[in-house]
Amino acid sequence: MIIGVLKESYPGERRVALVPVVIPNLTKAGFEVVVETGAGSEAGYPDSHYTEKGAKILPGRAEVFSRADIIVQVLCYGSNDVTGQADIPLMRRGQFLIGFLRPLGSLEMLQQIAATGVTSFAVELMPRSTRAQSMDALSSMATLCGYKAVLLAAVTLPKIFPMLTTAAGTITPTRVFVIGAGVAGLQAIATARRLGAVVSAYDMRPAAKEQVQSLGGRFVELPIEAQNAQDARGYGTAQDESFYAKQRELLARAVAENDVVITTAVVPGKKAPVLITADMVKPMAPGSVIVDLAAERGGNCELTRAGEVINAGGVTIIGRINLASQVPYHASQMYARNLTAFLTYLAQDGKLQVDAKDEIVRETLLTRDGEIVNPRVREFCKLPTLVANS
């Protein structure tokens, strides 16, 4: 089978789905790789590096769609709601499509993808099992977002992070508070610690406490307990508004006491909870910074504007989205390794096998033969259960 790598079309997107170094592994598994010209150039991978590893460069997007049996992308239509629709007429029945498809996003977009007849796999739906760990693109990207969030805060804050004892006196370390200690939050804690900050963190999942402490962070305990804080897949669960109101009340002091607040609290398929109100921002010291990694999902801070950096009474609130795309070289490398692990897992003699009995296949398979077939997505979108799924 031929794998086609497209140039990403979402505005500002600099990542690429496959990097040259993984091509020999795919060739060994029996695949051929074709690449749209310039696909990797913004991530630091020129066309010549792909050809050196045995890939073929094609001059245009339409050629890649017509030659490839499997299309791999970072942001497919679904997650690319700006320019992705242009790809729909290029897709064909039976072709495979793998990438970020935002499966718990717009039903209308998913139906358009299904109607093309492509067999699509959404990387967001990868189970959190040990077996699937090497294919977990969400975790790869979250790691980079956590890292980048700290760097953005560090260059914005009018202070340095570490404690310094100099002839000009002692500088106290910056205090960083991380709300949501999942993959992104834990990486933010580790990065801020390496820069010398004093770091504390909070998560409603009690299991996060030990992980925060193992990274040298102080875990902020709140006298409030979430109902079933964690679902079977390890994700935080949605709570009712009275829980969030209590959280805001209890978090107010910690927010005001810190120079930098990094928020990452999200719940799959739901708008992010507002954990920092405008009133909670007011007592923060001038120059303080909030980096809201939940911006694209509605924001954890009431004042966040997705994609923008704003100043609220001297506090900078960074709502930039798609931060993984700001480190495109490593983001593409990690994503390419995740995809390669997935492709080689599905492959038998250079052909993708769709074995619906396999847990990884069943959970990630989104559309097939004109239908949205994923049971979890169907339930989320309130579509009737398919007979084959029941």
Nearer to ligand NAD, 69 or 296 (CB): 296
Specify whether the CB–CB gap between 301 and 290 falls below 8 A: yes
Exactly one of 105, 173, 236, 299 binds ligand NAD (CB under 6 A); that residue is 236
Between 164 and 207, name the residue whose CB sits nearer to ligand NAD: 207
CA dihedral 267, 270, 271, 272 (to 10 degrees): -10
Query: Is residue 301 a contact residue for ligand NAD (CB under 6 A)?
Result: no
Residue 213 or 348: the one with the smaller Cβ distance to ligand NAD is 213
Least spacing, CB of residue 235 vs ligand NAD, in Å: 5
The stretch near ligand NAD (CB under 6 A) out of 92-100, 188-196, 258-266, 280-288 is 258-266
Which residue number has the CB closest to ligand NAD?
Answer: 182
388, 368 Cβ separation under 8 angstroms: no
267 touches ligand NAD by CB under 6 A: yes
Q: Is 181 in the site for ligand NAD (CB under 6 A)?
A: yes
Give the other-Cβ count within 10 Å of 257's Cβ: 14
**Do residues 251 and 179 lie in contact, with contact meaning Cβ atoms separated by under 8 Å?**
yes
Radius of gyration of the chain (CA): 22
9 belongs to the binding site for ligand NAD (CB under 6 A)? no
Pairing mode, strands 2-5 and 70-75: parallel
Pull the structure tokens for residue 159. 């202070």
State the minimum distance, in angstroms, from the CB of residue 301 to ligand NAD: 13
Residue 137 near ligand NAD by CB under 6 A: no
How many residues bind to ligand NAD according to rule CB under 6 A?
A: 28
74-133 residues near ligand NAD, rule: CB under 6 A:
128, 133
Smallest separation (angstroms) from ligand NAD to the CB of 176: 16
Residue 153 vs 265, nearer CB to ligand NAD: 265
Residue 368: strand pairing partners: 371
User: What's the CA gap between 324 and 142, in Å, rounded?
Assistant: 8
**Quick one: 5 or 281, whose CB is closer to ligand NAD?**
281
Residues with catalytic roles: 128, 133, 136, 139, 235
Q: Which span (3-11, 174-182, 302-310, 312-320) binds ligand NAD, by CB under 6 A?
A: 174-182
Which span sits near ligand NAD by CB under 6 A: 76-84, 95-103, 232-240, 324-332? Answer: 232-240
* Residue 183 CA to its chain's centroid (Å): 10
Considering the complex, what minimum distance in angstroms separates the CB of residue 366 from ligand NAD?
19
Residues 6 or more apart in contact with residue 300 via CB below 8 angstroms: 179, 180, 263, 264, 265, 272, 273, 274, 275, 276, 292, 294
The single residue among 266, 291, 336, 377 that binds ligand NAD, judged by CB under 6 A, is 266
In the region spanning residues 191 to 220, those forming contacts with ligand NAD, defined by CB under 6 A, are 203-205, 208
| Residue in this structure with the two tokens 């051929």, named with its chain if needed | 32
Distances (CA, A) of 107 to 97, 118, 176, 299, 378: 17, 16, 38, 22, 9
Nearest-angstrom CA–CA distance, 343 and 244: 41
Q: Does 180 bind ligand NAD (CB under 6 A)?
A: yes
Residue 328 dihedral angles phi and psi, to the nearest 5°: -65, -30
Does 250 contact ligand NAD by CB under 6 A?
no
